[in-house]
Structure formats: C-alpha cells, structure tokens
Amino acid sequence: MFNVDISSSTPIYQQLADSVKEGILKGLLEPGEKLPSVRELAKTMTLNPNTIQKAYQELERQKVIVTLRGKGTYISSDYKPRKDEDKLMEVKELFKKGIVEAHYMGFRKDDILNMIDELLKELEGVENDD
Amino acid sequence: MFNVDISSSTPIYQQLADSVKEGILKGLLEPGEKLPSVRELAKTMTLNPNTIQKAYQELERQKVIVTLRGKGTYISSDYKPRKDEDKLMEVKELFKKGIVEAHYMGFRKDDILNMIDELLKELEGVENDD
Amino acid sequence: MFNVDISSSTPIYQQLADSVKEGILKGLLEPGEKLPSVRELAKTMTLNPNTIQKAYQELERQKVIVTLRGKGTYISSDYKPRKDEDKLMEVKELFKKGIVEAHYMGFRKDDILNMIDELLKELEGVENDD
Amino acid sequence: MFNVDISSSTPIYQQLADSVKEGILKGLLEPGEKLPSVRELAKTMTLNPNTIQKAYQELERQKVIVTLRGKGTYISSDYKPRKDEDKLMEVKELFKKGIVEAHYMGFRKDDILNMIDELLKELEGVENDD
DNA sequence: GTGGTCTAGACCACC
DNA sequence: GTGGTCTAGACCACG
C-alpha cells in the first residue's frame, strides 16, 4: 500500500494517487475507511506534506475520496462511474501503448491476453463490485 | 501516421517515437523502409528539428530504426525482441493503470477484454509478424 | 430545512446559517418563531455543538435571529434591511460568478434568466414580504 | 485584468482563475491569445510562482486554457461546454445565495433582475458567442 | 525560455 | 486535531 518509487519519472503525487485507487480495487482499502492524515503520511513516507496534499486533492477531484473538514480524508462510499470521452481515449492509449511495447518484447496475442488475465485476477474489484 | 497532439502532456518526441512503432505494427511502415529526414519531417509537421532528432535517437536506442550515415534513417529489418525485466514491469504497469482507470469509468472485466480485443485487431502485426 | 452537506467545501456553520435565511424566505420559518436549542439541534443533526453555536452567532450578528437569555433563540420580527456597500459588492460577485460559470456550461442569456426566474419563484418571500 | 484581492477570504489562485474566465467573457482575452508566463505574472503581481501555477492548472483542468510544453499557456480556441450535474447545482447555489442575500439588503424581485441585467451587459460574451 | 514537481516551513479556518 | 493556502527557493524535462 502507498508504494512510490522516488526514482521513477512519474510524479510522486500521481504514483500515490494511483496506488490508492489500486488499493481500493484490491480490497486493501474499503469504502468509508479513513486515510492517514496528510501530515502523518508525509512523516511515515518521508515526503513533503504538500506532495501528499496534491495526491489527495487529485483523488478528491476524481471523487475517489472525500474530505470532511477538520475530520480527515475518507474513501468515497458512493462512487459513481462517469462517462468521459477524453478519459476513454486516455485508457485506450494506455492499452495501445502496452500492446505495442509488449510486441517489441516478443509477446504474441496470447501472451498479452494471459498477462491481462493475471492482472484482472490481482485486481479482483473489477470483477466483483456492484 | 506520425500523429502527435501538441497539447497533450506526453512529450512530443515520445508521441512521435510511439507513433512510429505503432505504424510498423499496423503495417504502415515496412522493415527496410526509409524514414523522412529530420529536417524534412520537421518542416512538414511544423515541429522543432531537435524534437524529431530526439524521437529518432530514442527509436535507434531501442533498435527499431537504424541510421546509415549519409544515406538516411531506415526501419530495422532484423529487430530481435529483447527480454528485459524492467521493460516487462513497465508494460505491466501500463496495463494495470489502464485496468484501474477503466474500472473507475464503470467498465467490467468483459468490457475491458473487448477493448483489448479491438485494439489487438487494429494492431494486426501482433498476431502475424515474425 | 437545515440542510447541510458535510462533504461540501463550504463551512458547515455557514451552510446552516444560509439554510436558516433561506427557510425564512421560503416561509418555512416565521418571524418570532423559536429555533431549536444549540444542544438539541446538535444532537438531531449529529453535528458538533460548537458548529451550531457559530452558525447562530453569525445569524445574530446579521440580526436575522435574536437570543433571549434563558429563553432561547428566535427569528427576528423586526428585521430592517441594511444597505452596505461591501455587502452589495459581495452579492454582485456571487451573481457575476454564477453567470460566468453558467456561460462555461453552455448557458445563454435566456437560459440564465429562466434559471433566476425559477429560483425567484422558489423563494417567494422575495416578492411578497415586508 | 488579473485582479486579485489578497485580503479576500477566497484563495488567490481561485480569484485569479475566475478573473481569467471573466476576462474572456468580457473580450479582454481572446481565444488563442498567449497568457503571461508563470514567472512573469508572479513577478508583476508579486505573488509566488506556485500560486500562479495552481491557478493555471485549475484553468487547464477546466479546458479554459491549454499549455504547450516549453512554449507557454494559451486561451483555448475550441472550448466546448460540458454538461455537469454537480456544476449545475453549484451554479444554482450561487444564484440562490445571491438572491437570499440581496433580499436581506432590501432588494425586491425587480431590483435583482435589474442587477442581473447589468451584469449580463458587462459580460457581453454571454450574449454573443457562438 | 517554458511549465511541472518537490521540499521546507509558515499561517489559517474548521470541527 | 484536520485539510487548505501561500511563500521561498530549488531542480528538471521540454522545445
């Protein structure tokens, strides 16, 4: 949980946000659950509070979490998927790039589908939720 | 071919490199084929020559293209897949992120597999080549 | 009556105060009427008593309510409109921001006027009282 | 243009973002026009670059502006209104609060409609654009 | 040159 | 206690 690689080129705040979303799908974080406070998480991860803040704000913007003033930050318990043309394109680009790169590593169609299958199992939330 | 979106947040040189690799998979570019020169492509795409240069360098580093001094740049005809642990992780991350985001758009397992299938058809090279 | 959204970014005490003022305009609360005690309202709304207290203080400052020591809190029956340059600016800012945002949602002049009309009907007190 | 009141309780970055959107509606900023660079505007307004940055990012998120890497920030020339249920509620709340407050200043229905009319004239973009 | 990210540290409002 | 904003100053990738 809350895995970030500071040597990665993708921003820390984004890795953190992605990691929360992934944690929810894996069932490591449950709807309604309280997230660590900005300061606390900053201390345990030895990151600047602003960085944590930015991750939390990004997640709130996406309605993945809600912040209750003075009380803390919580996993949304009423998340509703939203159709977004831009987002769809973005997802397709991710998959497309994944397929292209996989091809250049010598993967064939079946190898790719197997990899996807494994990942889908790991992220069980995709299969089971509502 | 050579599609780039200058307002996207992914670097232009990378979009360009990706676009070349994708074009090869789609059969739009064939092994041995000559690529436009840096200056020529820079002019037709109204991009900075440095940007084109950087894309070509990236592709050459990945052995997708080769430059023959004084003759031009060509699609490699002897590309050999490299198994690379880091690369594999990277690809998995791409797919994982795609799945997570798709989930948050309301997609289920089947919707995701369908999307992958469509993309695989589009990139037919994955199935047939080498 | 007394609608507050704890996940909203506007302070709860302010939402509460606004809600009282709105209730008066809608005729749900009448001049002279007694408001619930701080402790009572805190319990029924599961809010911190301090929050209710702050809302009541704010309303009293605006002379919308009066507190009679030992007797309770009541809707003012002799409210006199105050012309206040700052307040006027504030109201204009509210409307201006509303118009700007409406525009960015694709609303045109008539759509906006219709929306205002609807709201005016809902808040009938604006037309009839005093 | 770019008016902010540092003593206001609304965040500077938000005032700045609002001011840009308002400027576009007033015709002070045209689609395709280049905005001052983050550093430049920070210097002229004696604000921290991070504050300007946050305002620009907020505007980009709303697709009001676009940033071209290494080139600068520009007013979007292809803005498309998006329907958003939450946003609509927000706008209604703004107007409702405006009406309630106006009432408590002694304004009647006609006074309010006149005020709105004036503001609509000031923001001529609402009337004229596409 | 441009924007984007991050750290350090401060102050504030809210509950 | 909580999150939100702001400043100061640094470093980096991009074009």
pLDDT interval class at C80 (50, 70, 90): confident
Mean pLDDT, range C5-20, rounded to an integer: 96
Q: What is the pLDDT of residue C69?
A: 87
Strand F lies under 7 A from the Cβ of residue D69: yes
Question: Which residues, 6 or more positions from D100, have their beta carbon under 8 angstroms from its beta carbon?
Answer: C18, C21, C22, C25, C123
Is the CB of A123 less than 8 angstroms away from the CB of B25? no
Q: Residue C129 above 50 pLDDT?
A: no
Cα of first residue to Cα of last residue in chain B, in angstroms, is 22
What is chain A's mean pLDDT, rounded? 93
Residue B127, pLDDT > 90, answer no
pTM across the whole model: 0.93
The secondary structure of D36-69 as a DSSP string is PPHHHHHHHTT--HHHHHHHHHHHHHTTSEEEET
The answer, yes or no, to whether residue D92 has pLDDT greater than 80, is yes
Residue nearest to nucleotide F14 (CA to C1'): D70
Count how many pairs of residues, chain A against chain B, have C-beta atoms within 8 Å.
Answer: 129
pLDDT score at D62:
96
| pLDDT band per the 50, 70, 90 thresholds, residue D82 | confident
Integer CA distances (angstroms), C37 to C22, C63, D91, in order: 19, 18, 32
Q: Is the pLDDT of residue D83 over 90?
A: no
Q: Give the model's pLDDT for residue D4.
A: 95
Rg (CA), chain C: 17
Q: Which two tokens stand for residue B73?
A: 């740049």
pLDDT at A128: 53
Between A and C, how many residue pairs show a Cβ–Cβ distance under 8 A?
7
Dump pLDDT digits (tens) for B65-107. 999 988 999 999 888 887 888 889 999 999 999 999 999 999 9
Say what the pLDDT of residue A82 is: 86
Report pLDDT for A2: 92
Q: Tell me how many degrees the CA angle A52-B106-A68 measures, rounded to the nearest 5.
A: 35
Q: What is the pLDDT at residue C130?
A: 47
pLDDT at B130: 46
CB distance B98 to A94 below 8 Å: yes
Kindly state the percentage of chain A with pLDDT values over 90. 87
Task: Specify the pLDDT at position C126.
Answer: 63
Token pair recorded at residue D124 = 């001529």
What is the pLDDT averaged over residues D28-34?
96
- When mean pLDDT is compared across C70-79, D47-56, D62-71, the lowest value belongs to C70-79
d(CA B124, CA D29): 47
The terminus-to-terminus CA distance of chain D in angstroms comes to: 23
Q: Is the CB of A74 under 7 A from strand F?
A: no
Mean pLDDT of C79-97: 90
The two tokens of residue D113 are 């409609």
Q: Distance, in angstroms, between C41 CA and closest chain D CA?
A: 23
**In the structure, how far is the CA atom of residue B27 from the C1' atom of nucleotide E14, in angstroms?**
60
CA to C1' distance (Å), from A69 to F6: 19
> For D23-45, what is the mean pLDDT?
96
Whether residue A68 and residue C7 make contact (CB cut-off 8 A), yes or no, is yes
User: Which of A76-80, C102-106, C121-125 has the lowest average pLDDT?
Assistant: C121-125
Residues of C engaging A, defined by a Cβ cutoff of 8 Å: 6-7, 9, 11-12
Return the pLDDT at B45: 95
Q: Which class for C87: exposed (0-12), middle (13-18), buried (19 or more C-beta within 10 A)?
A: middle
User: Across residues C6-32, what is the average pLDDT?
Assistant: 95
